[in-house]
Amino acid sequence: MGRNKEFDPDAALRSALELFWRKGYEATSMQDLVDHLGVNRGSLYATFGSKHALYLRALDRYCELKGEVSLGLLSRPGAALPAVRELVLLYAAESLDDPDRKGCLVTNTAVEVLPEDEQAERRVASALDELETAIAGALLRARAQGELRPDADPRALARFLVTFLQGLRVIGKTADGRRRLEDAVEQALGLLH
């Protein structure tokens, strides 16, 4: 009969996600993970395989959690345009209110490990596509409900917003990003009418 694992893999994954998000992939060593998670190296390898495999699982978890929030917000019944505005404001608030200035793990991954890492690249592309599709769907509803001008292109506007939201995450990592973010958010929200 095999031994039970000495740790909760889900809790370890959450802790690893936080560490990778704060430090980045390259700056996080296997020893950092061992120390941060309080799990021995052998157990980490036996459960997750490698640092890279653990990083990909952490990225998947991050995308799942953030996707649930975005999809939940954008798929609410009723007026759609306020939900899109709320999403923009949520991204801005998360960027401005994070004392660690971690940014977005998807954006950080795109900047740090792409294009050399095809597995990470697929995950980044999928996360951005899912967000774009959710925003475009809300904007299509907004146009159909008369909230968005009839000549608006929901897909093009969604692509702009995804790019803009990722830019918010990058600028939010800077020490003096508040004024830039606030002005940029005001301009972006001005497009949503």
pLDDT at position 127 over 60: yes
158 or 178, which is more confident = 158
Q: In whole angstroms, what is the distance from residue 57 CA to residue 37 CA?
A: 15
Q: What is the pLDDT of residues 86-126, one digit of tens each?
A: 999 999 999 999 999 999 999 999 999 888 899 999 999 99
Question: What pLDDT score was predicted for residue 64?
Answer: 97
CB-based burial, 107-135: b 16+ in 10 Å, e otherwise = bbbbbbbeeebeebeebbeebbebbbebb
Measured CA to CA, the distance from residue 140 to residue 158 in angstroms comes to: 10
What domains does the chain contain, in order, with CATH numbers?
56-190 (1.10.357.10)
Mean pLDDT, range 119-135, rounded to an integer: 97
Residue-level pLDDT at 177: 81
pLDDT digits 0-9 by tens, 56-70: 999 999 999 999 999
The count of C-alpha atoms lying within 13 angstroms of the C-alpha of 150, restricted to the half-sphere facing its C-beta, is 0
Answering whether pTM is above 0.85, one says: yes
pLDDT by residue (tens digit) across 159-174?
999 999 999 999 999 8
Cβ contact 9:42 at 8 Å: no
pLDDT computed for residue 6 by the predictor: 66
How confident is the model over 3-31, as a mean pLDDT? 89
CA separation for the pair 149, 152 (Å, rounded): 6
Cβ proximity of 17 and 101 under 8 Å: no
